[in-house]
Amino acid sequence: MAEPDQALWFAFKDERLLVFGDDGPVRVPLATGPEDLNLDVTFRWEIGDLDGHTCWAVETDDEPPEGMVFRDMRDFFFGVDEDFFRMAGRARQIVGWHVTNRFCGRCGGETEPAPGELAKRCTRCGMMHYPRLTPAAIVLIRRGEQILLARSPGFPKGLYSVLAGFVEPGESIEETIVREVREEVGVRVENVHYFGSQPWPFPNSLMVGFTADYAGGELAPEPGEIEDAGWYTVYDLPQLPPDTSIARAMIDDFVRRQSPSRKEL
């Protein structure tokens, strides 16, 4: 059994996470310090607790220790524990914030950690730099017993999901939904209602989920953005996003409401 003072180390190199290279569940190292892993750490930040262990976000330029590899988180978000994925995503965002804020964007001075805050302070002009969050709207559109699903060119082969898009300056999230749906698939929506939210590390997003009802128009996928889009019932759903995503939670909720006896897909 691990010692109480051992911590979980979410170490990143070029946005790839250090994990064990075996065929078992995705795991990060558990150790008392980075020196136990023979890692040269260039940045570290405490990010919370998981399973009774303190968690650290770490940046390193080293090669992986024996038995470990650096992997893109997109390679393993299917099937991993939700709490683990959320902590790994938080670590990825914290390390990314450090990498892009070594110097002040206003005066070019070096930055340093600000005591007591999740922030970096410019040593020259004093400007505070906080982690950047990019709000994005994600929406499940209903048409009777059907939902609208689409696939983007960047999705894994065969995967379909609900629509999403980033909020633009001066725009409410509800306005984002109306605009994105119209631009991406050419239809109109109404009865927009809040569903829930989720931090999402690809990139530094806060996904804000809504449901909406179809209000008219013919499907016309936007070239270059949407490869295919269609209406699906609970009985003919295509390959769906992972359980760790709010997109899947929205789809699962629709399925339960259509078929109350079904607990999950």
Judged on CB neighbours under 10 Å (0-12, 13-18, 19+), 43 is middle
pLDDT tens for each residue of the chain, 265 residues long:
445 589 999 999 999 999 999 888 899 999 998 889 889 999 999 999 999 999 999 999 999 999 999 999 988 877 788 899 999 999 999 999 999 999 999 999 999 999 999 999 999 999 999 999 999 999 999 999 999 999 999 898 999 999 999 999 999 999 999 999 999 999 999 999 999 999 999 888 999 999 999 999 999 999 999 999 999 999 999 999 999 999 999 999 999 998 765 555 5
Q: 203: cis peptide before it, omega within 30°?
A: yes
Whole-prediction pTM: 0.86
Q: Domains of the chain by range and CATH?
A: 7-100 (3.90.79.10), 134-258 (3.90.79.10)
